[in-house]
Amino acid sequence: MPPPLDPRLAPGFKARPWWWEEAEPPDRDNVMPDRAAVAIVGGGYAGLSAALTLRRLGHQVVVLDAERIGWGAASRNGGMVSGVLKVAGVEKEIVLPLITTLRSGNMLVLGQIQIDMTDFGITPPTAMMGMLKTDPKVTIKFETTLAKPTT
């Protein structure tokens, strides 16, 4: 049985792409070819568009994806943002995956990222003369609601 969905998500939220109800992609054999003239990594919009264009030009193309074709952000209300995260005065480039959904007419944006404190020059805390230690990995979770201006 799948885990319960986050109660912050809108009623009717589905983890599976909606379009799969009418046109679910077939299971594939997952056998890697010995050779490929052109290998496209990623079966989202960009990868499939590139593969289709190259195939129409006569090239033999293989599309490689860790999941089923169309599984990722290309088939959902989601995506990624990138930027700089500043912690304890140290800046690091990050890529943050997002999930978006509508709730009460507003857009709810959820995301999380795991960071390692030592990457930001922070020594993980200890207690009881070092007998109690914390993991240097920290998960940062966020939720923000975007609403239309009221004026």
Give per-residue pLDDT as tens, 58-93: 999 998 888 877 776 666 666 677 788 898 999 999
Q: Which overall architecture, per CATH, does domain 77-146 show?
A: Beta Barrel (2.40)
Rounded to two decimals, what is the model's pTM?
A: 0.47
Side-chain half-sphere exposure of 41, counting CA atoms within 13 A: 0
Residue with tokens 């799969």: 20
What does the alpha-carbon distance between residue 57 and residue 34 come to, in Å, rounded to a whole number? 22
| Domain ranges, ordered by start, for the chain | 20-74, 77-146
What digits encode the pLDDT tens for the residues 27-56?
Answer: 777 777 888 889 988 888 788 889 999 999
How far is it, in rounded angstroms, from Cα 93 to Cα 119? 11
| pLDDT greater than 60 at residue 96 | yes
DSSP symbol at 63:
E
Query: Taking the alpha carbons of 43, 46, 51, 56 in that order, is the dihedral positive or negative?
Result: positive
